[in-house]
Chains A and B, each alone.
Chain A
Amino acid sequence: MRIETLLFKEIIILPELFLGISLVYLVLHSTFLAVRKNYPLIQTSILYLGVLVLFLSCLLVLNDGLDVLEQSVLNDTIVNDYVSFFSKLVIGSLSLFCLLMIQPYLINQKINQFEYILLILFAVLGLFLLCSSNDLLTAYLAIELQSLAFYVLASFKRNSTYSVDAGIKYFILGAFSSSLFLFGSSLLYGVTGTINFEEFKDLYVNVSPGNNADLSNISLVQFGLVFILISLLFKLAIAPFHTWAPDVYEGSPSASTFFFAVVPKLAIFVLLLRIFYYSFFGFFESWRYFIVIVIVLSIIVGSFGGIEQRKLKSLLVYSSISHMGYALIAFSAGTFESIQMLFCYLVVYSFSGLCVWSIFVLTRLKNNHLQKQNKDLTDLVSLGKSNYMLAIFFTTVLFSVAGFPPMIGFLVKISVFLTAIESSMFFVVLISILCSVIGTFYYIRLIKILYFEKVLVGKLYYPIQAQSSILISFLFFSFLFLFINPTLLYLFSYKLNLLVFTTV
């Protein structure tokens, strides 16, 4: 038997296969370990095993190399192109950091169940599959896999009423939006007889709703597309469909909120891109008006809703709502640079979200209530004196999220606005720039609380572990590097955008 018979490179879904199989092994391993020894403290070992598995699957993704530009396997249900490669890498590394950052939280909150790590790995598996799915069935199954994991992550603290409440809310609304997705895809299947994105593209490549009167089923296709769009916007928590987000994000344990506020947005945008750019680009003008209303609503809600908030978590939720609105601006522009800017914006958003949430998880107040993890804004008062470096880092990230000039957040935000202006969406850009100024208020208020609050006694925090502080300083320096040299990000996303448009 020669070694060529086992060319692993030719198995396209090798990272997903590896992740799935090692998940089964992890279940067996940790079940025997936990149950036979009467529940020892295994959270650290399981967490490192999870980190190892994730790291190896990231390596496998990297190892793929992409000798050909695009390759679909398994009856065209899985496509492996640069978009899926890039987004899988980003998602994998984000969840790697996420796992490492939540370790002190797990130990502190006495979450000793090994299932927590397993659920996160399941969600990552679902996101990987979502990134490379090429038909509606696979996409639906992948969405179900990741969101089922998220429901359980939200309700993981069983002895907290808030957590159970958040889990139930998330479950019901997620099931509702999944049913909308199914309804839309069944309409599409009923009209076209296929669920494959490639075949949709072949069917509708020269069709647009206005000028083809002989195809009478165009309006039904539009109907199905609207349902799919609404369900995906539900998953992204964009403004008319956002009402579940503050409750769920605030109620669930902080580590879970960390995970599902930062990681899954990119994968859902990849699915949106595949459906609305790759398959149905001819329908662009028909859903653009709809999406412009959604953008304006979500930016207004995100900017004005955040002003009222006193809890840090719900502030971050509203900030994420408005940021998803900005990302949708890039999505709806439809020019050559818009996809590049969309990916840049999403990567920078996830990265700064990672920084903010890791500071949120790592700063642990010295108070009498061990279980209290939800921070008010005033819990961060005079962090600038008690932990100087952390406060500087937090300020930098907040400036970047708000979009202050020298930071990377400013660069991507202004490029998003520029692409929108290029495709003549002046009114949307005007409203979003005004709302962005309003939204800056609550980031600035946070910075004011960090440094300039006139109190005699500040809050005290437990010291941060060495490992986490090394990671945080690594994040800080890579943040600074991005804003000194943003070309790296732009280069990757430019290549990606070229590939998206050449395959259309």
Chain B
Amino acid sequence: MIINILFYLFSVILLLSSLMVILVQNSIYSILFLVLSFISSAGLLFLLKCEFLALMFIVIYVGAIAVLFLFVVMMLDLKTVNVKKDVLKYFPFGVIIGGVFLIEILMVVGETFKANPYSDSFLYNSHFNWYERMDTFTEIHSIGQVVYTEYVLQFLIAGNVLLLATIAAVVLTINTGVESDKKQVIFRQLSRNYKNVLII
């Protein structure tokens, strides 16, 4: 009971905060809502008894990525742009598409998940206590056992993806001094006028 209530609480917070991430104009607020959504999804993982994954979620997403985002946003000094006009223009279209999808999903889910699929069969109200039948590992132990044996190839591919990401980050940012990168020359920028400006 209490777990159900907590589940609905965290899911509502998750949905609302991830909605707010894209609705809020100020980017700092948007990142703070992102942090909130990460924390509430970590709460959902806690409810599923995946404590290791939940803690990793908080450490990596909140501790590293969101903080980096915050730094970048603060350094970029973004101005809040008023995009209200576009919202009005795209609102009906988005509502129609999203509404159709939502109704479809709700219909499918309502058709599929009944309250108790065994309610009119003889299995009703009979249950195993699965906890007695399982081996008890800590979560990190079982993750390690599975990842290093069954999913070793997938683990290696993920490692390759990380290597590729590292190489990509280096190649997109390194300055070898050979080519001329986009750099800010303040004099040139101040003495520019509107002629010969390429607008994309």
Q: Which residues in A have some Cβ–Cβ distance to B below 8 Å?
A: 13, 20, 23-24, 27, 39, 74-75, 77-78, 110, 112-113, 115, 118-119, 122, 125, 129, 137-138, 141-142, 144-145, 148-149, 151-152, 155-156, 158-159, 161-162, 165, 191, 216-217, 219-220, 223
Contact = CB atoms under 8 A, between A and B. Distances in A.
A145 B170 contact: no
B179 interface: yes
Contacts, number: 93
13 contacts: A23-B163, A24-B163, A27-B167, A122-B167, A137-B151, A138-B157, A149-B168, A155-B172, A159-B182, A161-B200, A162-B200, A219-B112, A223-B104
Contact of B108 (A110, A161, A223): A223
B102 interface: no
A351 to B, nearest CB: 28
A144 B158 CA distance: 9
B105 interface: yes
Contacts of B151: 75, 77, 137
B167 A115 contact: yes
A219 B151 CA distance: 30
Given A27-B163, A141-B158, 20 more contacts: A20-B156, A23-B163, A75-B151, A77-B153, A115-B170, A115-B171, A122-B160, A122-B164, A141-B154, A144-B161, A145-B160, A148-B164, A148-B165, A151-B168, A152-B168, A152-B172, A158-B181, A217-B112, A220-B109, A223-B104
B154 A158 contact: no
Interface in B126-166: 150-154, 156-158, 160-161, 163-165
Contacts of A145: 157, 160-161, 164
Contact of A39 (B111, B160, B178, B198): B178
Given A137-B154, A219-B108, A219-B112, A152 B179 contact: no
Given A112-B178, A145-B164, A165 B200 contact: yes
Contacts of B4: none
B168 A119 contact: yes
Interface residues of B, number: 35
A458 to B, nearest CB: 29
B119 to A, nearest CB: 13
B180 interface: yes
B72 to A, nearest CB: 15
Contact of B171 (A137, A156, A162, A165): A156
Nearest to A138: B154
B92 interface: no
B153 A13 contact: yes
B112 A220 contact: yes
B176 interface: yes
A204 to B, nearest CB: 15
Interface of B: 104-105, 108-109, 111-112, 114, 117, 150-154, 156-158, 160-161, 163-165, 167-168, 170-172, 176-182, 198, 200
Nearest to B169: A152
Given A75-B150, A145-B160, A223 B200 contact: no
Contacts of A24: 163
B182 A141 contact: no
Nearest to B175: A158
Contacts of B170: 115
A155 B153 CA distance: 29
A199 to B, nearest CB: 14
- Across the A-B interface, give the 3 residue pairs with the lowest CB-CB distance, nearest first: A115-B171, A152-B168, A141-B157
A151 B171 CA distance: 12
Contacts of A158: 172, 179, 181-182
A138 B172 CA distance: 27
Q: Most chain-B Cβ atoms within 10 A of its Cβ — which of A39, A119, A129, A141?
A: A141
B153 A148 contact: no
A223 B105 contact: yes
Given A74-B152, A219-B112, A159 B200 contact: no
A39 B156 contact: no
A113 B157 contact: no
Contacts of B150: 75
A331 B108 CA distance: 27
Nearest to B166: A27
